[in-house]
Chains A and B, each alone.
Chain A
Amino acid sequence: MGSMTSSTITTREDDAEVAPVSPPLTMEAFLADIEKRAYHMAAYAAGSHADALDLLQDSMIKLVTSYSDRPPAEWKPLFYKILKNCIRDWHRRQKVKNLLFFWSNTRADEGYEEWPPTTAKSDDSENPEAEMARSQHQAAALKHMAQLSEKQRQCLLLRSWEGLSTAQTADVMGCSEGSVKTHYSRAIAKMRKLMEVDHEISF
């Protein structure tokens, strides 16, 4: 759990023991490190590139303007909390907008781009068939992520991908640790089921 290959910020205790003393993290470095993962969360929630960027920008601005003076260790949960609130507000605005302008197609703007991307990228390797199958499974996993509920997806992304603890995830999501565990197990079960049905894979 906690794939942090692209991350320089980690919550693992063993990493902290062996890690050399590093200079204090700047806000710019933190944002650069977190932006891709946060973009995925926002894009899954909003379903488009343009809206995801808006959500990301609002969250970043709020973090920079209000919490720059906080210790860098607090930035990650704070940022995801802000992003989660921005996503919630965005959904509310969309609901009102759809009620008021039910006759117009709000998705017809030029900046709209479907999320997740449907094409799977395949790296060159010694076993192209296995690599192709792997890429297809990964693309399917990304596609099935969109079918999870908002809370299940957020829980999965925060706990599994971002590596936050149950307590931190509960704090970010504004629910109890028990709810986090429930959301997480349901998300895993649903993903497993979707993958098994779609690709006849058993986990």
Chain B
Amino acid sequence: MKSPSSHQGGTEQGEDIEQLINSALDQSADNLSERVLADLAQTRNRALRAGHEEPAATNFAESLSQWIIQPLPRVAVPVVAVVAVAVSLNYIWTETIPPLSLAMVAEEMPTEDLSLLEDLEFVTWLAENEQDMRL
């Protein structure tokens, strides 16, 4: 079967199908609308910008992800995390507050206050003694 254009001396029939496809695609690429060309240029510029910006942002993430999948960190990180949580939950504060030196107290506190404190200590001692005797 021949196309009607063959009778008009057209060259289309003689062309191979590949050439027809390529010429059609070339034609289509050459005749892209202004809007498509603008969008393509924008897309290209975005990609080029991303190429300049991306490395700084991805280097840390990449290096972290590379480090975390190493055998030692993969075991050590969870172990350290569990130990840290266990210690923080079970740790008891045993260290007592150091007493103030008597010299400093004597120098800075008034004499009346010091005698009052001594009386208070004596009353507390008496009360403790009475409690012990009752028991």
Contacts and interface: CB of A to CB of B under 8 A. Distances in A.
Contacts of A65: 50-51, 54-55, 58
Interface in B8-31: 8-13, 15-31
| Interface size bracket, A side | 35 or more
Nearest to B30: A6
B31 A121 contact: yes
* SS class, residues of chain A in contact with chain B: helix
Interface in A36-65: 36-37, 39-40, 49, 53, 56-57, 60-61, 63-65
B43 A60 contact: yes
Interface residues of B, number: 42
Given A141-B21, A192-B17, A202-B1, A116 B28 contact: yes
Contacts of B5: 129-130, 133
Nearest to A193: B17
Interface of A: 1, 3, 5-6, 27-28, 31-32, 35-37, 39-40, 49, 53, 56-57, 60-61, 63-65, 68, 116-117, 121, 129-130, 133-135, 137-139, 141-142, 145, 156-157, 160-161, 188, 191-192, 195-196, 199-203
